[in-house]
């Protein structure tokens, strides 16, 4: 079902791009209700909408039928948070989030692979960790920017969904404090924008513990052919995957804010240690 959801979301996104005539800095869609085309648990769907409604980066919404599916279009602006997020010297990527519905599907895939805990590294406004929490995974959201962590804490208070925001440098963080058993780590950074440095440090930490055999690392890749986009094999992560003897176990293409104007969406690459 999750492969179907990812494929159908890609279809909705492409149709949305063709008809969108707004001028907001960011825009995304969530199906308004359960349907055969988008069979998501109604209670979860309601909570995805709730996340956006309680998130101050969004300022407008309206319903629109896209590919015969009634969706809610959400518009917003992340400039203030984007500018603040680049002030940290060890930040590997400015705040540019995935779509909320993509975060839900990505977290659902992790759960379907039988992982029990989700740690979102460079979590932005916490949407992946939020989705993990509503899916009953033990969730931890690690973000270096204090303003974004304050935003996350406000969302926790407004939604009553505690996805455990932590303000910390992920490279320095002590992961043993989380008491993990079968964790999945989402790395918040594209490889050519410093995500490779972040990922290497996290992998090196895991490699020295007993968690190594039970851990999944998820990379957000890119198929962009823009200048300086780097090696595009395995979404730009092939060198790191090969050097750390990781095995790709799943890849899902999901819309993100940074691929809104692109034909190909963001590959989320699920790996484990050989």
The pLDDT of residue 223 is 66
Mean pLDDT, rounded, for 79-90:
62
Most confident of 55-59, 81-85, 218-222: 55-59
Are 62 and 72 in contact by the 8 Å Cβ rule? The answer is yes
- What is the DSSP track for 9-40? HHHHHHHHHHH-----SEEEEEESS--SSS--
Give the DSSP H/E element, type plus range, for residue 45. Answer: helix 42-53
Mean pLDDT, rounded, for 81-107:
77
What distance in Å separates the CA atoms of residue 51 and residue 261, rounded to the nearest whole number? 24
Confidence bin at 129 (pLDDT 50/70/90): very high
For 10, the token pair is: 């890609």
- What is the DSSP track for 100-165? HHHHHHHHHHHHHTT--EEEEES-TTSHHHHHHHHTT-EEEEEES-HHHHHHHHHHHHHH-----E
What distance in Å separates the CA atoms of residue 274 and residue 271, rounded to the nearest whole number? 9
pLDDT digits (tens, 9 = 90+) for 7-64: 999 999 999 999 999 999 999 999 999 999 999 999 999 999 999 999 999 999 999 9
What distance in Å separates the CA atoms of residue 267 and residue 258, rounded to the nearest whole number? 12
The pLDDT of residue 224 is 61
β-strands 117-121, 138-143: how paired? parallel
Residue 167's DSSP bridge partners are: 143
Cβ-based neighbours of 161, under 8 Å, separated by 6 or more: 47, 51, 130, 133, 134, 155
Give the DSSP H/E element, type plus range, for residue 195. Answer: helix 195-207
pLDDT digits (tens, 9 = 90+) for 189-198: 777 666 788 8
Residue indicated by tokens 């309680």: 54
| More confident of the two residues 95 and 268 | 268
Query: Which stretches of 208-270 are DSSP H helices?
Result: 238-243
What distance in Å separates the CA atoms of residue 126 and residue 81, rounded to the nearest whole number? 13
Name the average pLDDT for the chain: 90
Residue indicated by tokens 């949305």: 16
pTM of the model: 0.93
pLDDT digits (tens, 9 = 90+) for 169-209: 998 999 989 999 999 999 987 776 667 888 999 999 888 88
For 111, the token pair is: 């759960």
pLDDT digits (tens, 9 = 90+) for 227-252: 344 456 788 899 999 999 999 999 99
Are 222 and 266 in contact by the 8 Å Cβ rule? The answer is yes
Residue 186's DSSP bridge partners are: 120, 218
The pLDDT of residue 261 is 87
The pLDDT of residue 84 is 60
Mean pLDDT, rounded, for 119-130:
96
Confidence bin at 83 (pLDDT 50/70/90): low
């Amino acid at each position: 079902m999750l492969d179907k959801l990812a494929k159908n979301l890609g279809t909705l996104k492409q149709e949305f791009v063709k008809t969108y005539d707004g001028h907001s800095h960011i825009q995304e869609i969530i199906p308004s209700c359960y349907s055969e085309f988008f069979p998501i648990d109604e209670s979860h769907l309601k909570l995805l909408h709730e996340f956006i409604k309680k998130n101050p980066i969004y300022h407008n919404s309206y319903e629109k039928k896209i590919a015969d599916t009634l969706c809610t279009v959400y518009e917003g602006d992340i400039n203030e948070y984007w500018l603040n997020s680049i002030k940290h010297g060890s930040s590997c990527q400015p705040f540019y989030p995935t779509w909320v519905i993509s975060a839900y599907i990505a977290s659902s895939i992790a759960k379907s692979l039988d992982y029990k805990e989700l740690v979102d590294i460079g979590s932005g406004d916490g949407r992946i960790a939020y989705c993990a929490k509503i899916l009953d995974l033990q969730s931890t959201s690690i973000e270096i920017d204090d303003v974004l962590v304050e935003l996350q804490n406000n969302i926790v208070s407004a939604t009553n969904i505690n996805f455990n925001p932590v303000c910390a440098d992920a490279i320095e963080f002590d992961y043993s404090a989380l008491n993990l058993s079968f964790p999945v780590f989402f790395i918040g950074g594209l490889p050519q924008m410093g995500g490779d440095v972040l990922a290497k440090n996290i992998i090196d930490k895991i490699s020295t513990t007993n968690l190594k055999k039970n851990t999944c690392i998820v990379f957000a890749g890119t198929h962009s052919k823009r200048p300086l986009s780097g090696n595009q094999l395995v979404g730009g992560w092939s060198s790191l995957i090969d050097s750390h003897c990781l095995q790709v176990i799943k890849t899902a293409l999901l819309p993100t804010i940074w691929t809104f104007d692109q034909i190909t969406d963001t590959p989320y690459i699920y790996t484990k240690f050989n």
